[in-house]
Amino acid sequence: MARPREFDRNEALDRATRVFWAKGYASTSTEDLLAAMNIGRQSLYNAFGDKRKLYLEALERYQRESNASHLERLNSSASPLRGIEALLLGLIAEDDSVRALGCMGVGAVSEFGTADPDLVMLRSKVGPRLFRRLVERIREGQACGEVDLAIDAREAAAFLQMTMQGIQLGARAGGDVRSLRAQARFAISRFRPR
């Protein structure tokens, strides 16, 4: 008879995610994970496989949850431009320690680029969905007069995704709330009709 697991797997995954988010994959040791998760080595292997499988699971869940939050903010207002503004401003945490973490997904891109096919595949699960909804919101904004008709919606959506990455890198680099919000608002102001 198998011995029952003596820890909450979801809580252990949350704790591992926080370590990977703060340190990245390469800088996180198995010992870091065991200490944070408060489990033994064999429990880690039995429940998650190995460090890489644990990282992939943590990153996939992080991206799924953060993308859901992005879409919720983007859709939070009847005004397309206000929804886009909520999306960008929502990236900027008030808490200095949380803001300094930046984004785990952007961290993975910074660490691995396109060299790891598994990570590229994970990104392909979330990025296109947000991109499509950004295009729709921009076109909605154009239809109601909030967004300049001369703007190409697909190019603008790509710009917004790049702006999101820039805000998150700026946060990781120590950017303060005021300056990051100013950058987000500057980006939004470029969308208004001239």
Residue 63 binned pLDDT confidence (cut-offs 50, 70, 90)? very high
Helices (H), the chain: 9-23, 30-37, 41-48, 51-74, 80-89, 96-99, 104-112, 117-144, 153-172, 177-189
Domains of the chain from N-terminus onward: 61-189 (1.10.357.10)
Question: For 121-169, how does the pLDDT look when each residue is reduced to its tens digit (9 = 90+)?
Answer: 999 998 999 999 999 999 999 999 999 999 999 999 999 999 999 999 9
Question: For 85-114, how does the pLDDT look when each residue is reduced to its tens digit (9 = 90+)?
Answer: 999 999 999 999 999 999 999 999 999 999
Q: Which residues have CB under 8 Å from 75's CB, separation 6+?
A: 83, 133, 137
Give the pLDDT score at 6: 72
